Chain A
Amino acid sequence: MDPQELKTTAAMAMVELDESGVAALAGAVDQMLEYFTTMAAIDVKNVEPTTQILAASNRLRPEGAHNNNPANTVARADAVLEQAPDLEDRLIAIPNVL
């Protein structure tokens, strides 16, 4: 993979890669991709992909199963919100200088 391609991929993955980062990872990436290309040797014509192994039959969550107590809902939300690095009241704040 050329460095530009690697940078494009990194941008999609939201990983910053400067020149030294590219240099550090390029070798390992190439090695793995080359390894992946060995897959080309096996014939997969007319083979369906398996995206889920042993897929279960229809699994649905019934609507009635929800927690009806609003207090519990809020308590659960509080526990989740506690972890936020920066809060403005109940809103999670992130910098955004326009």
Chain B
Amino acid sequence: MYQSFIGLEIHVQLQTKTKVFCDCPVTFGDEPNTRVCPVCMGYPGVLPALNGEAITLGYLLARALNCRLSPVSSFDRKNYFYPDLPKNYQITQYYQPLGRDGFIDLEFRKKKKRVRIHQVHLEEDAGKMIHAGDMSLLDYNRAGTPLLEIVTEPDLEIGEEAELLLQELRRIVQYLQVSDGNMEEGSLRCDANVSVNHRGEGLGQKVEIKNLNSSRFVRKALTWEIARHQEILDRGGTVTQETRLWNENRDQTESMRSKERAHDYRYFPEPDLPPFRADQPFLEGLEERLVELPAARRARFREQWGFSASQVDFLCDQKSTADFFEAVVAAGGAPDQALFWLAGDVRKLLKRSGGDLLTSPLTPQRLAELLDLLARGRIHGKIAKQTLEQVFLEDRDPSAIIHERGWKQLSSREELLPVLERVLEENPLPVEELRQGATRPLGFLMGKVMKATGGRAEPAAARTLLQELIEAPRRVSSVQVLSFGGAIAGTRREDGMIEPGDLVSLAELFQADPELPDSILFEELRLGRFLSEEITPADWATLLVRIAGTLDQGGVQGIVIAHGTDTLAYTASLVHWFFADTPVPIVLTAGEGPPGEGSRGESGENLRRAVLCAASGSAGIHVVYGDTDFLPLNLKFERVDSGGGNSFRTWNPEELLRSGSSLAPVARGVEQEELTRCLEEVLGQTCIVRVYPGMRGDILVTLMEAGIRCFVLEIFDRGTASLREGPFSLRNALIQGRERGVLFFCTSQQEGVVDFSGYVTAHALWREGAVPMGRLTTESAFTRLVTAQVEVLCEGEARSRDAWRERVLALMED
């Protein structure tokens, strides 16, 4: 087993107006050699004049990276000849940098790490050399741009961590306004040192990789390079100490093959610049320029509003987004709604208009106003979306737009009455049926109302008024019961086998029940006639679209889903990932046989309890079985015939929540056909593999070749599996998977949290890029993975394999 060591040298271009040693402007993309002067062109007789802002920003970043700040920092000359380096020495800091011994805290896939910063120093950038045929062309506009070099200790182990560190550093420099942090424009550049060795044998032969101009390249190059080293070591070879370049076209590192002249930079103190003394007033000035850094802000957002990791990652990625969000909340917007809109429609509209949040017509006050109108039922979701679009187009307040267009929702009795009366007049037959006690025509009439008002009728108000006008039996609650197959809706044949059937009429079932209040209005929907082991992607799509529709329309007290026991753990968790933010109870229940057979898993009894739970108004997703109200996640059905009977049990119940935010805000808005297609596609490329002693790693490769892109690996204990050499090791499969962009998510065959701690084999899994699923069971992890992929598909963006991988991982991260 191997150990890898990665250290980064990161260059950050500072956001100063002028260059570090002369007053040429610092700009990007100008005509070549227009931002040069005798000083930055290295003319005879010129002298450097240190830019005060550059050294201040340098100290500021060193401070933010927890460095020990140098009371005196000084400059040195680094001597080497290169055409793009005007003086043929670079003014840098070698003996007394700005700061030393800092750190950045990272967490990658459950593994927390403090990456030590060796030092932070200020230096000047070189020009650019472009090759053209048999000559090279030099542009010195960049020469003399202030650069901060950040050197880490070799504390990183894998490419992903290096990528994460760069992203975090980008956020930090942007938060501090030290740099624009733009890797594409070269404001943030990175060289990496990597070495691999057998575990416990210390550092190996070091290789330097240059030309890493995006955080993605950093990850890919390091992953590739570590694999190369391991291959060499596998063969018993030795890695050559050298400098390599990342070739982004061929996705590999390549030896520079230049004459490896021993570097001797002959550093010596720069005689032209006096040392800088960081005195007390200067240090106090730094404190004033510090801001709450991204990590602290993410932690606060999680704490303050209970957001998930990926949600705070989104909110805190850009300081402007986090500031905007907090301003919306301060202006009265509900935090979860503010997040939902910022992550959804606002982001989409910004992308469309090509602008950013700070300069867009949407102000925090306007978004807060929109959320307020929505919360008070003055408009509904669809109108809110339209209004938001108009805000972007017209640069006006939402209330003004709504008022002018007459988009206000109809919720008062006066507004609704004329419409309802007309609908009742036009539809005498359903009205009559309702009066007789039928429930189904109510939905039909509501549809007519919506049509008549252009969707502006407030559903709950309309429904209540409708019942009142019809003078239907007085019922205050309405519960929708969705029959989704299973024994609970089945019938027992003469030979004792259960076959699919229709749910027993609820009215019938409950009529006999004296305990059941008569104030519940049932609405039954049969979504399928199958046993729960027969569920297809289309069935799930039908269910999800139906729930989404009901929640959208509103006016329902709760939803009950009658299901089979076999696959309930899947469906319950799937519903959770889609609808964790449901304002009304969604209750799943099951039975071991058709209703009326009488046992602990008695279907009729379960159904009755489920309906009661749905009518209780307790938000979130419930699984009701026997006398227990289970969480929708981590269910395991246990057949314990002796004693208490069969029932469910929840694995790792601590930390699990009944509600949260939806993982699939986009997917739940699509049409049924589309969702079916997505689910089919996703289920076709996702696979659960339960590992076992003696399992050949090739099996996974075969599955990859058959099109599997995501695995849920059900492994052992807290996340261990065979990672030894040879055919029974997963290592080869993991390496191949990585090359193909395949994802591995790990759950355990035992109850417990999978976090890859405790065993070297677990750490090796982490190094090879497997994702630990923490407390989730295989079923819950699987449906989460399905939901995440469906969401990514529905987001509809054309993504590279790499970007797809990123997005899925982001949705799986928490």
Contacts and interface: CB of A to CB of B under 8 A. Distances in A.
Interface in A77-98: 77, 80-81, 88-98
Interface string A43-80: 00000000110011111111101110010011011001
Contacts of B135: 88, 93-96
Nearest to B52: A60
B34 A93 contact: no
Contact of A91 (B32, B43, B271): B32
B34 A12 contact: no
A62 B23 CA distance: 10
A66 B23 contact: yes
B34 A94 contact: no
Contact of A58 (B49, B83, B130, B277): B277
B18 interface: yes
A89 B138 CA distance: 11
A41 interface: no
B43 A80 contact: yes
Nearest to A54: B274
B36 A51 contact: no
A77 B83 contact: no
A79 to B, nearest CB: 8
A32 interface: no
A11 interface: yes
Contacts of A40: none
Interface in B135-150: 135-140
A42 interface: no
A98 B131 contact: yes
B37 A61 contact: no
Interface in B28-49: 31-38, 41, 43, 49
B435 interface: no
Contacts of B25: 66, 70, 73
Given A55-B275, A77-B36, A80-B36, A96 B136 contact: yes
A14 interface: yes
B266 interface: yes
Contacts of B81: 14
A10 B455 CA distance: 84
B48 to A, nearest CB: 9
Nearest to B79: A12
B276 interface: yes
A74 B34 CA distance: 5
A91 to B, nearest CB: 4
Contacts of A95: 134-136
B264 interface: yes
A90 B31 contact: yes
Interface in A1-33: 11-12, 14
A11 B132 CA distance: 26
Contacts of A56: 274
Given A67-B23, A95-B135, A90 B51 contact: no
B701 interface: no
Interface string B470-485: 0000000000000000
B808 interface: no
B131 A61 contact: no
Nearest to A65: B23
A88 B137 contact: yes
A91 B137 contact: yes
Nearest to B76: A51
Contacts of A92: 33, 137-140
Contacts of B53: 63
Interface in B62-115: 79, 81, 83, 88
Contacts of A62: 52
A61 B274 contact: no
Nearest to B95: A51
B545 interface: no
B261 interface: yes
Contacts of A12: 79, 264, 266
Contact of B130 (A14, A51, A60, A91): A91
A92 B81 CA distance: 17
Nearest to A74: B34
B559 interface: no
A97 B136 CA distance: 9
Contact of B37 (A51, A52, A80, A98): A80
A89 B25 CA distance: 21
A91 B51 contact: no
Interface of B: 16-18, 23-25, 31-38, 41, 43, 49-53, 55, 79, 81, 83, 88, 130-132, 134-140, 261, 264, 266, 268-269, 271, 273-277, 279
23 contacts: A12-B79, A51-B271, A52-B271, A52-B275, A57-B277, A60-B52, A61-B51, A62-B52, A66-B18, A76-B36, A76-B37, A80-B38, A88-B135, A88-B137, A90-B31, A90-B33, A91-B139, A92-B33, A92-B138, A93-B137, A94-B83, A94-B135, A95-B136
Given A52-B271, A80-B36, A98-B131, 4 more contacts: A61-B52, A74-B34, A77-B33, A92-B138
Interface of A: 11-12, 14, 51-52, 55-63, 65-67, 70, 73-74, 76-77, 80-81, 88-98
- 7 shortest A-B CB distances, which residue pairs? A60-B52, A51-B269, A66-B23, A91-B137, A96-B136, A92-B138, A61-B49
